[in-house]
Amino acid sequence: MQDALQFCGGLVLLLVGGRLLVSASVDTAKRLRVSPLVVGLTLVAWGTSAPELALNLISAYKGRGDLALGNIVGANICNMALVLGVCAMMRPLVVQERLIKVEIWLNGAIVGFMALLGMFTGFAKWEAGLMLGVFGVYSTWTIMAALRQTDKAPSADAADTLGDDPTREASPMGWFMIAACFVGGLVLLSYGGSLASDGASGIALSMGVPATIVGVTIVSIGTTLPEMVTGVMAVRKGQTDLAMGNAIGSCLFNAGAIFGMVGLFAPPGVDGTLTLPLAYMGLLAIALVPISRTFGKTVSRLEGGLLLASYAVFLGVSVILATRG
C-alpha cells in the first residue's frame, strides 16, 4: 500500500509538472508564431513526454535501467496504439503530407531500430548515442524550418490560434510566467520522478513481477496520460493535426532523446520479458506507414478500433505471461 501511494503521489506530481511544461511550451510557440503541427511535434510532444524523461533518467541514476527501458517501450506503445486509437475513434485523424514524408518514416526507422537491437543484440552506448544524434539533427532542422516560417504568419492575432493548446482558452502568458512554469514544472518532475520510480520498483518486488513488465504497463499508461489528455482535447477542438503530431513527436522523443540519454548514462539490459513488447512496438511503428496513407490519408475510426483492440490483446497476453512467470 505504501509503494502504491508513493507511486500515485509521484505520478500526480509528474502530471502537474508535465502540464506546466506543456502550457509554457505552447505559449512560447504562440508568441513565436509557429504551426500547430510543428507545435505538436516539438514543444507539446516534449512537454507531454517530460514525465517519462524525469522518471527514466532518475530510474537509470538509481540503477533501475530495466524499469526505464520498460517505460520507454510501454510509452511508445501507448502513444501509437492507445492514444492514436482513442483519438481516431473520436474523429478520423488527418495526416498531413509533412508527417507522411518525414516523421512517420523516421519514427518507423528509429523505433524499429530500437526494437531490433533489444530483441537480438542488446544495447551499447554508441547505439544510444547514434539515436540521440539523429534526434538532435531532426529537431534542429524542424525548429529552424519553423522559425524561418515565422515571418510569413498572417498576423499576430491569427498566430495566437496557430499553436493553440487545446486544454487552455486563455491568451498566451507573459515571458516571466512562461519561465516560472518551466522552472516549476522541472522541479515537480524531478521530485515526482523519484517518488514514482521508488514506488513502481517496490510494487514490482512485492508482487513478484519483473520491473520491465511494470514499466511497460502500469507506469507507461500513467506517464502517457498527458499525451492522452492533450490528444483528446485537441480532437474535440478539431485540431487533429496537433493530436497526431503530439503522439508521433512523443514517440520520437522517447526513442531518440530519452532512450539516447538513458543508454549513454547506463545502457539497460534486456531479458526475455521484453521480447513481446519490443516486437509489438516495432510492428506498430511500421504499421503506421501504410495506415497514414489509407482512407484518404487519415487514421480512420476502423483503424483506431484495430489499434485499440491490438493494445487490449497485448495487455492481456502481458498479464498472462507475467502471472505464469
Is 311 inside a domain boundary?
A: yes
* Helix pair 175-207, 65-77: axis angle to 10 deg: 110
User: Going by C-beta distance under 8 Å and a sequence separation of 6 or more, which residues neighbour residue 115?
Assistant: 278, 279, 281, 282, 285
* Helix pair 240-252, 104-116: axis angle to 10 deg: 30
- Which pLDDT belongs to residue 156? 43
Do residues 138 and 202 make contact, with C-beta atoms less than 8 angstroms apart? no
List, for residues 67-102, the tens digit of each pLDDT value: 778 888 888 999 999 999 999 999 999 888 888 888
Q: Measure the CA–CA gap between 219 and 290, rounded to whole angstroms.
A: 29
Is 13 inside a domain boundary?
A: yes
List, for residues 253-297, the tens digit of each pLDDT value: 999 988 888 888 777 777 677 888 999 999 999 999 999 999 888
| Count of the separate structural domains present in the chain | 1
Higher pLDDT, 147 or 132: 132
- Which pLDDT belongs to residue 104? 93
Residue-number span of the structural domain to which 193 is assigned: 2-144+175-324
Do residues 71 and 223 make contact, with C-beta atoms less than 8 angstroms apart? yes
The answer, as to whether pTM is greater than 0.85, is no
Which residues are registered as beta bridge partners of 93? 299
Is 169 inside a domain boundary?
A: no
Is 36 inside a domain boundary?
A: yes
Is 157 inside a domain boundary?
A: no
Which grid cell sits at 279?
A: 516486437
What is the H or E stretch that residue 94 is in?
strand 93-94
Is 166 inside a domain boundary?
A: no
* pLDDT band with cut points at 50, 70 and 90 for residue 209: low
**Average model confidence (pLDDT) across the chain:** 80
Is 7 inside a domain boundary?
A: yes
Higher pLDDT, 305 or 165: 305
- Which pLDDT belongs to residue 54? 76
Query: CA nearest 249: which of 35, 15, 2?
Result: 35
Do residues 142 and 41 make contact, with C-beta atoms less than 8 angstroms apart? yes
CATH of the domain at 312: 1.20.1420.30
Q: What is the mean pLDDT of residues 197-208?
A: 70
Is 154 inside a domain boundary?
A: no
Q: What is the mean pLDDT of residues 195-209?
A: 71
